[in-house]
A and B are shown apart, each in its own frame.
Chain A
Amino acid sequence: MKVRVRLYATLVDLVPPSIRAQTPEMRAARPFELEVPEGSTLAHLIEQLALPRAEIKAIFVNGRVCPLDHLLQPGDEIGIFPPVGGG
């Protein structure tokens, strides 16, 4: 199934080049489509992108923060953030 993913701030730079090559439209804050196996959780998705977990602060699914064991549905919109702050 397909989901839409956005990686914010520094996270795009942390995806290994081999994986980035498969999704050339992957840029900071821009959405890209990703094919994930049925029954995937957010944890699986993080693994698939080879993102270091320690760098991830919050993951939104359809606008709500969700835990890593959250089960993905087709068409989900996912936003992944490193620690950010401002004001």
Chain B
Amino acid sequence: MWILRINMTDRSYRLEELPEAYKNLAGRSLTSTIIHDEVPPTCHPLGPNNKLVFSPGFVTGTAAPTSARISAGAKSPLTGTIKESNAGSEWPQALASMRIRALVVEGQPQEKGKFWMALLSWDKAAGKPAVTFAPADEYVGLTTQAAYNQLFGRFGNRVSIAGIGVAGERLYGNSGIVFQDIKRRATRYSGRGGLGAVMGSKGLKYIVINREGAPGVQLANAALFEEGRRKMTEALRTHSITKPKGSLNTYGTAVLINVMNEAGGLPTRNFSSGRFEGAPNISGEAIFEGNKQRLGKELYNHPCSPGCIIECSNTWHKPDGSEHASCVEYESSWALGADCGIGDLDDVAELVRLCNEYGLDTIETGTTLAVAMEAGLAPFGDGKKAIELVHEMGKGTPIGRILGSGTETAARVLGVRRSPTVKGQSMPAYEPRAVKGIGITYATSTMGADHTAGYTIAPEILSVGGKADPLSPEGKAELSRAFQATTAFIDSTGHCLFIVFVILDIPSGFQGMVDEVNGVLGTQYTADDVVKLGMEILRKERAFNEAAGFTRSHDRLPEFMKHEPLPPHNTVYDVPDAALDAVFGQM
């Protein structure tokens, strides 16, 4: 197993044997450990001392279902904290097949404004990966799909690509790293935290992997792995949320629009209401029905990456039946829809498409547009004006650059007090005043406001993994802590986080995950170790953040949520600071 280091100062690379201490780390546990061990916490995120780390999970590249996940990590230019942003693509499978546990991008070129690509291939004679570098300036300024099409033309359809769009080139705080989906669309994002800018700051435009001849992932205990894989597959195939033609496969993640709206927790018009009258029009049900009408047949969703059996990625189609955008996720439909007061699915789809083409995070873009609307740059609900503003970001005009800096910066520049951010990152699609537990995750996560860091929505809204009253703060600190720790482990396995819905309800599925990991590593972890291992990851991440200057006072929600009651429940955020501090108080 290797750690591959790419140095962008002189475009050189170095292969290192995976150190003994890192043997049982992968995915988020490895990206966060390397950042903790090697990146000076006070460094500038866009300077030469920051490092961008990619790591596939433990089971990524194996036959484990729904496991083509990559963790991308660095010190975030959006938050100043440690960051792990997770995406699904065949790219991490290609990396894992070369037995590369981590790819670390280091240094910074002297040349200003120049970009390169790193080309990874398997050196058969030497029996190890090899890297060459090539100029990438000809792709600068292109939209992501146009550039990816050219790259596939140049290197063949079997390569896997990670890259940045114009947002990353321009070092926007809101810029993601894009990976290809199963049909070579440039649409799968490590979107959150501005990691595209970190890649851009290193003059690295693409990492192209040709996996031909690579040996594949080694299993320490193939029989145990197989047993785990079978349990996990069985669980995913039977649970109503993840089974074929189940809710994710039929309606996609946007099936949550209506349930969050019903619960009064769908943030609307820059977090001024928990209900949006246009919600049914931008929901998963509307996407399914609209496609059916426009295509004349039912369209079920597709996998984002090879080996996914949940298959929740959708496409939205124009009136003439041609494809408009992929993927209209819950978060995207909410951020670019409800939070901007936009209830037109065609406008939302166009905004999603533009975010993908320019290399922007859809969540941060939507919440920034909403702040801009509150500042009067456009009326709430004006989809066409919102589209124009995203084009400004793509063009890099002065207002476009301000909006590209992310929600908190835009709010400050535009004089908007209601900035729905924690540690500089905007909140996703769940209102903390209506769902108290998720607010604790937003406040205390090592990542800034992030729902995936500890998805208490499962018990609070979806009645998955138990039931908890969303409006009550009781017991939520413990709930959030348990979810955050478990999630840190799942983010290391290489499985998509959506296995959570299944393993919380089906114990054999949970055991399947543990068996798979033991099968790959040769470890003897038990189900009880999962939270412990997760806490270990959180401890390192919090230590990094603390050394970077973050204190308890940063583990807070924005002040307006404490005194502005949110309709329809007219509740404020009433979780006491002491409860927030208790989440990791024992650490």
Q: Which chain A residues have a beta carbon within 8 Å of chain B's beta carbons?
A: 6, 8-10, 28-30, 55, 57-58, 60, 63-65, 79, 81-87
When the two chains form their complex, are residues A85 and B498 in contact, meaning their CB atoms are under 8 A apart? Answer: yes
A87 with B452: CB separation less than 8 A: yes
Whether A87 lies near B498 (C-beta < 8 A) is: yes
Q: With A and B bound together, what is the CA distance between A85 and B451 in angstroms?
A: 13
B284:A60 contact, CB within 8 angstroms: no
Are B262 and A6 touching (Cβ within 8 A)?
yes
Binding site for A on B (CB under 8 A): 239-242, 246-248, 250-256, 258-259, 262-264, 280, 283-286, 289, 312, 329-331, 451-452, 455, 457-458, 461-464, 467, 469-471, 497-498, 501, 568-569
Inter-chain contact A63/B284, CB cutoff 8 Å? no
B-chain residues with CB within 8 Å of residue A10 when the two chains form the complex: 247, 250
Q: Are A29 and B283 in contact (CB under 8 A)?
A: yes
Asked if A86 and B264 make an inter-chain contact with CB atoms under 8 angstroms apart, the answer reads: no
Known: A65-B463, A86-B498, A87-B253. 10 other contacts (CB 8 A): A8-B259, A10-B247, A57-B240, A58-B259, A63-B263, A79-B262, A81-B258, A84-B255, A85-B241, A87-B330
The residue in chain A whose Cβ has the minimal distance to the Cβ of B451 is A87
Q: Could you tell me if A83 and B464 are in contact, using CB atoms closer than 8 angstroms?
A: yes
A8 touches B285 (CB 8 A): yes
B329 contacts across to A, CB distance below 8 A: 86
How far is the CB of B261 from the nearest CB of chain A, in Å? 9
* Docked-complex contact B262 and A86, CB < 8 angstroms: no
Residues of chain A within 8 A (CB-CB) of B280 are 29-30
CB-defined A-B contacts under 8 Å, sample of 17: A29-B286, A55-B240, A58-B461, A60-B263, A65-B463, A79-B259, A81-B259, A81-B262, A83-B462, A84-B255, A84-B462, A85-B256, A85-B462, A85-B498, A86-B256, A86-B284, A87-B498
Taking CB as reference atom, which chain A residue is nearest B457? A87
A81 to B461, CA, bound (A): 11
Q: A85 — which chain B residues lie within 8 A by C-beta?
A: 241-242, 247-248, 255-256, 458, 462, 464, 498, 501
A86 touching B285 in the complex, CB below 8 Å, given contacts A10-B247, A79-B262? no
CB–CB A9/B285 < 8 A: yes
Residue of A nearest to B253 (CB): A86
Which B residue's beta carbon lies closest to that of A57? B463
Most buried by B among A58, A79, A81, A84: A84
Q: Complex: how many Å from CA A79 to CA B452?
A: 26
Can you name the residue of chain A whose Cβ is closest to the Cβ of B330? A86
Min CB–CB distance B87 → chain A (angstroms): 13
**In the complex the two chains form, is A63's CB within 8 Å of B568's CB?**
yes
Chain A residue at smallest Cβ distance from B310: A85
Contact between A28 and B256 (Cβ–Cβ < 8 Å)?
no
In the bound complex, how far is the Cα of B250 from the Cα of A65, in angstroms?
24
Shortest distance from the beta carbon of B200 to any chain A beta carbon, whole Å: 27
Compute how far the CA of A83 lies from the CA of B240 in the bound complex, rounded to whole angstroms: 6
- Candidates B240, B331, B471; contact of A87 at CB < 8 Å: B331
Q: Are A57's CB and B462's CB within 8 A?
A: yes
Q: What residues on A are CB-neighbors of B285 within 8 Å?
A: 8-9, 28-29
Do the beta carbons of A86 and B312 come within 8 Å of each other? yes
Which residues of the other chain, A, contact B452 by a CB distance below 8 angstroms?
87
Please determine whether B464 and A28 come into contact, CB atoms closer than 8 angstroms. Answer: no
Contacts of B312 in A (CB 8 A): 86
